Structure 1
Amino acid sequence: MPRRLLIVTHAPSPNTRALAEAAERGARHPEIEGVEVVVKAPLDTGPDDVRACDAILLGTTENLGYMAGLTKDFFDRCYYPVLEDKQGLPCALYVRAGHDGTGTRRAVEGIVTGLRWRWAQEPLILRGEWQAGFADQVEELAMAMAAGLEAGIL
């Protein structure tokens, strides 16, 4: 039975959609065969989606020094329903930050700590003006998550 990577990404602009597509592309790398990839927007993701996954990759924008409201809504709806079931869930985060991303990172880290999820790697903060290399970084992050799942190290 394949392991499942859930990618929950807020992508309200062409640039953030490019990041979401890069995450999906990385997770679906042709050499990674034992991982099912599910990509959803925060508003379309519920507790059952989290319960059904073996790892989660979160993508959000920085909004007013905090995570996107829809990302916060995802956590609000899923936190208590998955709290007991998904402790230790491997997770990763990327933040598209127009400024420094510190507040966004801190907020998500606080929620992840409460959920007792386990960081697969340090959050990826894509700071400042848009750079084409941001998509490559997100693609690599998603590929590493999927490869780790397939190898059984996550």
Structure 2
Amino acid sequence: MNSHYGTIQNRPGQSNEEACLEAVEDCHLVLAIIRSRYGSGITLKEICRAIEIEKPVWKIAEQDIEKFRQLLKPILYATDATTNLPVARVLVPNRKTGVLDDLRIIDLYNLCIQDHLPVSERRSNWVQSYEDVDDVFRFLETNLKDVDRVRQIIQPTHP
């Protein structure tokens, strides 16, 4: 299901966000694509919802997002002396740059890699970077081509 391609069912009177979150509830797995364009913020809510209801989520991100994250980390985040984890230093919502349309993309990436947790506690935090469509197809083939394997993974959430 993909709203961009018109494959998410919606009902009259339902908001786009409600339809997308309902699709997360109805699907068997989620492929999260993190791009340098933040859009409406629905993608963040979809990923949060998928994590909350323990849907299997495969995540890919434009290669430059990790670079931007590392570059901006000293500016946007400080390290908590108690936990040694990054905490937001400055909140700059909707602040556009020439390469990112919203710095909350980095927050979305941090959520996906579970940056708020110590490394030893992170699970399902793999976010594969991609540079071009060939990288995306390779990731999809590696992770989703074996239908029996995928069925075994989603079985706990969809008998």
Computing the radius of gyration from Cα coordinates, the structure with the larger value is 2
**Where is the strand percentage greater, Structure 1 or Structure 2?**
1
Q: TM-score, normalised by structure 2?
A: 0.43
Structure possessing the higher relative contact order (Cα contacts under 8 Å, 6 or more residues apart): 1
